[in-house]
Amino acid sequence: MFDLKGKVAIITGSTKGIGKAIAIQLCKAGAKVVISSRKHQECVKFSKELIEKGFSAFSIPCHVGKKNEIKNLVQETIKKFNSIDILVSNAATNPAFGPLSNLQDPAFDKIIDVNLKSSIWLINEASPYLKKNKTSSVIIMSSISAFIGTKDIGAYGISKAAEVSLVKHLAVELGSYGIRVNAIAPGLIKTDFSKAIWNNKKTLTKQIETTPLKRIGYPEDISGIVHFLASNASLFITGQLIVADGGETITSVIS
Ligand code: NAP
């Protein structure tokens, strides 16, 4: 049920952090993976490492905020592997830190392009190929910032909330082709992306104290969920959001 042998997976933003852990996990399950990020050298380096370990990997650099690069990502994947079964839309950005009252249009546009429109571009480009395989799976990396209020990352949170809506619409649109579309909302995961939070001792201590599982997350806390959603173990799940946050969002001040 969990075997991904022969399946082809594109993972955006897969040279480090959560995306890298996903690539390793999907390789271990037997998938052929396409490693992708903006930096060509990083993509080549990581895919070489995977190949040296006996896995099947290929690198295609792609800035997900650029539609032509997304088109190239899909077309080069087809040239190399002749199929796409699993799409993981993982890359994201957050150039705006501060209240929405200070949000500048260029930063907001960038957030929406990279975090939201990119997923639609990628799925539309790949859907003719996903439709050929009756058990294809699309996974979009959202965040718990989609459904909580914050003072500093509102624009990012809005883009992540829109992704939750996106999976529901796409799940309906693509369901008759057997394509599942789901999202994951990680809590705080120890990567470069969130370094400003976990690198601050006071914030980290508070975070751990208020999280029921009494720890922050690691990329491997997310990669197993992607494996599940990519596999036939989740064939009847679509349009859903899986929250993986150690319980952070279910607590209250009285607990
Ligand atoms: P990360 O460690 O900073 O890794 C980000 C990856 O994406 C890198 O491979 C990076 O490589 C690539 N990337 C960045 N901008 C890109 C772009 N425009 N186009 C293509 N690739 C790009 O980040 P992460 O923490 O793993 O985050 C992955 C996902 O999890 C994001 O969607 C994020 O919103 C979500 N998330 C993270 C946390 C957390 O606490 N870490 C919590 C909730 C949700 P290059 O720099 O070479 O492009």
| Predicted TM-score (pTM) of this structure | 0.98
Active site residue 129: no
Q: What is the mean pLDDT of the chain?
A: 97
Residue 5 has pLDDT above 90, yes or no: yes
Residue 67 has pLDDT above 80, yes or no: yes
Is the alpha carbon torsion for 42, 43, 44, 48 positive or negative? positive
Q: What is the bridge-based pairing of β-strands 137-141 and 86-89?
A: parallel
- Residue 167 CA to ligand 1 centre (angstroms): 19
- Region 123-145: mean pLDDT is 97
Residue 255 has pLDDT above 70, yes or no: no
What are the φ and ψ backbone dihedral angles of 251, each rounded to 5 degrees?
A: -90, 165
Residue pair 53/252 in contact (Cβ under 8 Å)? The answer is no
Is the alpha carbon torsion for 195, 197, 201, 205 positive or negative? negative
Q: Mind listing the pLDDT tens digit for each residue in 182-191?
A: 999 999 999 9
Q: Which helix (H) or strand (E) holds 109?
A: helix 105-112
Ligand 1 and 13: CB distance under 6 A = yes
Distance, in Å, from the CA atom of 153 to the CA atom of 7, rounded to the nearest integer, reads 36
Distance, in Å, from the CA atom of 225 to the CA atom of 87, rounded to the nearest integer, reads 14
Ligand 1 and 19: CB distance under 6 A = yes
Residue pair 84/74 in contact (Cβ under 8 Å)? The answer is yes
Report the alpha-carbon angle 102-184-123, nearest 5: 85
Q: How confident is the model at residue 253 (pLDDT cuts 50, 70, 90)?
A: confident
Query: Which pLDDT belongs to residue 254?
Result: 72
Ligand 1 and 159: CB distance under 6 A = no
Q: Which atom of ligand 1 is nearest to the CA of 114?
A: 18
- Region 217-235: mean pLDDT is 98
Residue 241 has pLDDT above 70, yes or no: yes
Ligand 1 and 116: CB distance under 6 A = no
DSSP state of 133: S
* Nearest to 26, CA basis, from 17, 13, 35, 16: 35
Ligand 1 and 21: CB distance under 6 A = no
Distance, in Å, from the CA atom of 171 to the CA atom of 93, rounded to the nearest integer, reads 24
Residue 18, SS3 per DSSP: helix
CA torsion, ordered 74, 108, 242, 83, to nearest 10 deg: 0
- Number of Cβ within 10 Å of residue 208's Cβ equals 15
Distance, in Å, from the CA atom of 217 to the CA atom of 29, rounded to the nearest integer, reads 22
Q: How confident is the model at residue 33 (pLDDT cuts 50, 70, 90)?
A: very high
Ligand 1 and 143: CB distance under 6 A = yes
What are the φ and ψ backbone dihedral angles of 57, each rounded to 5 degrees?
A: -145, 155
- Residue 13 CA to ligand 1 centre (angstroms): 6
Query: Which pLDDT belongs to residue 123?
Result: 98
Q: Mind listing the pLDDT tens digit for each residue in 70-83?
A: 999 999 999 999 99
> Which among 88, 193, 211 is the best mutation to test ligand 1's pocket, defined by most ligand atoms within 8 Å of the CB?
193
> Which among 37, 139, 167 is the best mutation to test ligand 1's pocket, defined by most ligand atoms within 8 Å of the CB?
37
